[in-house]
A and B are shown apart, each in its own frame.
Chain A
Amino acid sequence: EAGVVQSPRYKIIEKKQPVAFWCNPISGHNTLYWYLQNLGQGPELLIRYENEEAVDDSQLPKDRFSAERLKGVDSTLKIQPAELGDSAVYLCASSFSGSGTDTQYFGPGTRLTVL
């Protein structure tokens, strides 16, 4: 079974440029999460989707960050414009919320460097 797929794995951009990250969750998982992980820290939730609906986006900086999950499968996270402080790893995870275990499966992440 394929795991959570993320692309690109690495991205280097100059500040004020836009950037987008893509995530394909595990087949059948209706819940999708985007996390931000700074160096030496644990992941912090940015947004959680239940199917197409964003049910928790309280931590998403909405002035520059946006996300979408069309058709309740793949998701895209966008930053526009990027700032130096956005350099981090962006992790996508998915789960089947009806399983009763809430185990989240993580992708390998996208490492963003803003110059």
Chain B
Amino acid sequence: KQEVTQIPAALSVPEGENLVLNCSFTDSAIYNLQWFRQDPGKGLTSLLLIQSSQREQTSGRLNASLDKSSGRSTLYIAASQPGDSATYLCAVGGSGTYKYIFGTGTRLKVLA
């Protein structure tokens, strides 16, 4: 059974800092992995999707990497801003299914 863990559970950083959020999963037979952002009281917004054959994806200040063999993904946020404050969730798509297993998220606060 796939299990997804995100560390740290919460993170507080000053504005401008580069930061890394971690996601680990137990079963390396994955289809893809997505990083989502969730603002308080809102739904989830997809940030980056990495297919199992890819190593990384980039969008603006965000870069996500995937290492299937070690069961890890990282989300790198460059030059953080207060508007980046949110909960970041990673979700692992099972091979051959459309089922996503979510981590519990990292709650990020960027201080002005």
Chain A residues within CB distance 8 Å of chain B: 4, 6, 31, 40-45, 48, 56, 91, 93, 95, 97, 101-109, 111
Q: Give the nearest-CB partner of B44 in chain A.
A: A106
Q: Which one of A44, A45, A48, A107 contacts B43 once the chains associate, using CB atoms below 8 Å?
A: A107
**Knowing A41-B104, A91-B44, A104-B46 touch, does A48 contact B89 (C-beta < 8 A)?**
no
Closest chain B residue to A97 by CB distance?
B98
- Given contacts A31-B98, A102-B32, are A42 and B46 in contact (CB under 8 A)? no
Proximity string of chain B (22-63) to chain A, C-beta cutoff 8 Å, 1 when within and 0 when not: 000000000110101000011111100100000000000000
Bound Cα distance A91, B36 (Å) = 14
Are B32's CB and A106's CB within 8 A? Answer: no
Nearest-neighbour CB distance to chain B for A81, whole angstroms, equals: 26
Residue in B34, B43, B91 whose beta carbon sits within 8 Å of that of A91 in the complex: B43
Q: Is the CB of A104 within 8 A of B43?
A: no
Nearest-neighbor residue (CB-CB) of A4 within chain B: B43
B100 interface contact, C-beta 8 A: yes
Q: Which of A40, A41, A105, A108 contacts B42 (CB 8 A)?
A: A108
